[in-house]
Structure 1
Amino acid sequence: MTPARPVPAASPLSHHSPLAFDDLVGWRKDDHEAALAAFVVTCDIPDGPEWRQMGDAARAQPDPRAFFERFFRPVLIGDGPALFTGYYEPELPGALSRSARFCHPIYARPDDLPETEPWVTRAEIEAGGLLEGRGLEIAWLDDPAEAFFLQVQGSGRIRLPDGTILRVGYDGRNGHPYRSIGQEMIRRGLFTPEEISATAIKDWLRGHPAECRGILQHNPSFVFFRVLTDVPADKGPIGTMGRPVTPGRSVAVDPGFTPLGAPVWIETDGPDPIRRLMIAQDTGSAIKGPQRADIFCGSGDQAGITAGALRDPGRMLVLMPLPVKD
Structure 2
Amino acid sequence: MITVLFLVVLAGCAKKPPVEIEPPIIEPPVVEVPALTPVTWEHLDGWEDDSLLPALEAFRNSCVSLRWREQWRDVCSSAQQLDVVDVLTVRNFFEQYFTPHQVRNADGSTSGLMTGYYGPELEGSREPTEEYRYPLYQQPDDMLIIDLDSVYPELGNYRLRGRVEGNRVVPYFDREQIDFGDNQPLAGHELFWVKDPVDLFFLHIQGSGSVRLPNGEQAIVNYANQNGHPYRSIGRLLLDRNEMTRDQMSMQNIRRWVANNPGSGQKLLAENPSYVFFRELPPGTVSPPGAMGVPLTPLRSLAVDPRTIPLGAPVFLSTTFPGTENQPLRQLMVAQDTGGAIKGRVRGDFFWGMGNEAGEFAGRMRHPGELWVLLPRTLENYQGK
Cα distance change, pair 50–97 in 1 and its aligned pair in 2 (3 A): same
TM-score by length of 2: 0.77
Offset at 1:55? Answer: 0.7
Please tell me whether residue 73 in structure 1 is matched to residue 99 in structure 2: yes
Please tell me whether residue 145 in structure 1 is matched to residue 203 in structure 2: no
Q: Aligned residue for 2:10? A: none
Q: Aligned residue for 1:8? A: none
Among candidates 19, 31, 35, match of residue 51 of structure 2: 31
User: Which stretch of structure 1 is more off in the superposition, 307-316 or 109-118?
Assistant: 109-118
Cα distance change, pair 141–324 in 1 and its aligned pair in 2 (3 A): closer
Among candidates 260, 264, 267, match of residue 315 of structure 2: 264
Within a 5 Å distance, the mapping from 1:121-270 to structure 2 comes to 121-126=174-179, 127-133=181-187, 135-232=188-285, 235-269=286-320
- 1:295, 1:221 → 2: CA distance? 22
Offset at 1:199? Answer: 0.6
Q: Aligned residue for 2:350? A: 295
User: Which stretch of structure 1 is more off in the superposition, 304-313 or 64-73?
Assistant: 64-73
Q: Is the Cα contact below 8 Å between 1:177 and 1:285 reproduced in 2? A: no
- 1:91, 1:24 → 2: CA distance? 35
Q: Aligned residue for 2:27? A: none
Q: Is the Cα contact below 8 Å between 1:231 and 1:237 reproduced in 2? A: no
**For residues 56-90 of structure 1, what are the alpha-carbon distances to aligned partners after superposition, in whole Å with 9 as ceiling and x for unaligned?**
00001252111211221111223254111111111
Offset at 1:153? Answer: 0.9
**For residues 246-268 of structure 1, what are the alpha-carbon distances to aligned partners after superposition, in whole Å with 9 as ceiling and x for unaligned?**
01100111111111000111000
- 1:282, 1:324 → 2: CA distance? 20
Q: Is the Cα contact below 8 Å between 1:94 and 1:140 reproduced in 2? A: yes
Q: Aligned residue for 1:318? A: 373
The residue type equivalent to 1:52 in the other structure is: R
Q: Secondary structure at the match of 1:286?
A: coil
Please tell me whether residue 87 in structure 1 is matched to residue 117 in structure 2: yes
Q: Is the Cα contact below 8 Å between 1:44 and 1:51 reproduced in 2? A: no
The residue type equivalent to 1:29 in the other structure is: D
Q: Is the Cα contact below 8 Å between 1:92 and 1:158 reproduced in 2? A: yes
Offset at 1:195? Answer: 0.2
Q: Aligned residue for 1:106? A: 136
Number of residue pairs matched?
Answer: 311
- 1:224, 1:261 → 2: CA distance? 25
Q: Is the Cα contact below 8 Å between 1:40 and 1:58 reproduced in 2? A: yes
Offset at 1:186? Answer: 0.8
- 2:372, 2:246 → 1: CA distance? 27
Q: Aligned residue for 1:6? A: none
Offset at 1:301? Answer: 1.0
User: What percent of counterpart residues are identical?
Assistant: 40
Offset at 1:54? Answer: 0.6
Q: Is the Cα contact below 8 Å between 1:49 and 1:324 reproduced in 2? A: no
Q: Secondary structure at the match of 2:144?
A: coil
Q: Is the Cα contact below 8 Å between 2:35 and 2:308 reproduced in 1? A: no
- 1:147, 1:200 → 2: CA distance? 16
Offset at 1:141? Answer: 1.3
- 1:140, 1:49 → 2: CA distance? 45
Q: Is the Cα contact below 8 Å between 2:219 and 2:283 reproduced in 1? A: no
User: Which stretch of structure 1 is more off in the superposition, 59-68 or 238-247?
Assistant: 59-68
User: Which stretch of structure 1 is more off in the superposition, 215-224 or 108-117?
Assistant: 108-117
Q: Secondary structure at the match of 2:142?
A: coil
Q: Aligned residue for 1:45? A: 65
**For residues 184-241 of structure 1, what are the alpha-carbon distances to aligned partners after superposition, in whole Å with 9 as ceiling and x for unaligned?**
1111111000001111111111111111221112211110000111553xx3211111
The residue type equivalent to 1:44 in the other structure is: V
Q: Is the Cα contact below 8 Å between 2:117 and 2:363 reproduced in 1? A: yes
- 2:182, 2:77 → 1: CA distance? 52
Q: Is the Cα contact below 8 Å between 1:94 and 1:139 reproduced in 2? A: yes
Q: Is the Cα contact below 8 Å between 1:253 and 1:280 reproduced in 2? A: yes
Q: Secondary structure at the match of 2:378?
A: coil
Q: Aligned residue for 1:309? A: 364
Among candidates 160, 163, 182, match of residue 117 of structure 1: 160
- 1:273, 1:152 → 2: CA distance? 27
- Which has the bigger relative contact order, CA under 8 A and spacing at least 6? 1
Offset at 1:284? Answer: 0.9
TM-score by length of 1: 0.90
Offset at 1:125? Answer: 1.9
Q: Secondary structure at the match of 2:328?
A: coil
Q: Is the Cα contact below 8 Å between 1:88 and 1:304 reproduced in 2? A: yes
Gaps of 5+ in 1: 1-11
